[in-house]
Amino acid sequence: MLFFLKDYDCGGIFSGSATIVEGSPVLTYSVQCGESIAIAVPKDPNDPDLKEWVKPDSNPVIHRPNTTQNFRDPTEAWRGEEDGLYRMIVNCDEGTCLFKSENFVNWTYTGIMWPTDAGFQECPDFYKLPGTETYVYKGSIQGQEWWLVGEYKEVPGLNALDKFVNTSADVLFNNQRYDMGTFYASKRFFDPVKNRQVLFAWVNYHCNDTDWAGVQSFPRIVLPNPAKDNSIITYPIEELQTLRSPSTPVWTIENTTLNSRGGKTASITSPDNVGAQLDILASFRMTKGLALDFQLFFDTTTGDNKAVSIASTAQPSFPTLMGEAFEMYESDAGVVTLRILVDRSIIEVFVQGGRSAMTEAYCAPNPEHIDDMKVKVVNQGDADVELLSLDVYTLKP
């Protein structure tokens, strides 16, 4: 626990990161007043739960550069391949402030590695996509997780500033977001066993009559977009499929036409009691005038539900997911693919294999019946919809 405060913890402890240093984790954290960065180490590195932490006398290990007022949220550190120095970025007013160290205690400020005019960004992240030479920078700003990709080059030396050149647009442009919904302050970590970057985020919401606020998202993998250069996708990690119980779908539909709004078969409803912990996969053809709802938490008594809506627009290559545009490519051949993860009060939606994602919360008005709810698919548009496939799996509690 880090709740005990030192004088340098002015205003309280803010967010930070963990780095494995000489085989043991070291926490780096910022403080509310924005004056410094401090570290904490395990009291007993052999404790498998790492319950107790101590703050070394060397704290604080980094002081705010005098060129910035905002200063917080250190990233995980990485080591230079040529000089072996530790590197870490902390976000500043002008962009990402880069620091280097030989021992993780004495740090040298080298300058702004990535300057930006977008404004101060919280919770930065910087990492390499495995199997590529592409690096991702992420900043939390305006309530969203914005990313850019580029080329990174180490410059050896304690006082030398490394180079990072973007190959995509800057943050706040081209809709370069991990997620278009309630998904913030994300953090990814490298999984050396499967050679992948795994991403989590804070889903900030609160339902009445509960004693918690906010949850952690489902874990996702971050990958290069196979259909577009200088772009990335995020998608649920494969291990989530092990939560399916049973391992086969409880509801399957294939090659079904949903008539236009008001038609005899404009909707279909799942069997009883599929509940509110689900993994849903669907595909359908995009048509002019499409407006298709996947109604989750559907209560047959009241009609209450949370709808995941897909709609066509005047631009055929940019339909919308819950009001936010996503891009379709010629290689999609006019087919929309959808995956929806449902976990009692949040949903995470992925279209086109993760090219766009949307996370939203839903506080059911009748939570005592949440395990009795259904899924309903409704054509709200003026054109028939060809539903190519629909598989609904229930998940373990």
Cα 158 → chain centroid:
33
pLDDT at site 297: 95
- Provide the token pair at 295: 């109604």
Distances (CA, A) of 44 to 29, 55, 177: 19, 13, 39
d(CA 78, CA 83): 12
pLDDT at site 5: 81
Question: Do residues 26 and 18 lie in contact, with contact meaning Cβ atoms separated by under 8 Å?
Answer: yes
Nearest to 321 by CA among 144, 167, 180, 162: 180
pLDDT at site 77: 98
d(CA 292, CA 21): 51
pLDDT at site 264: 73
Q: Which residues pair with 389 in a beta bridge?
A: 254, 283
Please tell me whether the peptide bond between 246 and the residue prior to it is cis, using omega within 30 degrees of 0. yes
Distances (CA, A) of 68 to 112, 152, 218, 390: 11, 24, 35, 52
pLDDT at site 1: 64
pLDDT in tens, the chain (397 residues): 677 789 999 999 999 999 999 999 999 999 999 999 999 999 999 999 999 999 999 999 999 999 999 999 999 999 999 999 999 999 999 999 999 999 999 999 999 999 988 899 999 999 999 999 999 999 999 999 999 999 999 999 999 999 999 999 999 999 999 999 999 999 999 999 999 999 999 999 999 888 888 999 999 999 999 999 999 999 999 999 999 999 999 999 999 999 997 777 799 999 988 999 999 999 999 999 999 999 999 998 899 999 999 999 888 789 999 999 999 999 999 999 999 999 999 999 999 999 999 999 999 998 888 999 999 999 999 889 999 999 999 999 8
Strands (E), 231-384: 232-236, 251-258, 267-269, 277-285, 291-298, 306-311, 320-321, 324-325, 335-343, 346-351, 356-361, 374-379
CB atoms within 10 A of CB 196: 19
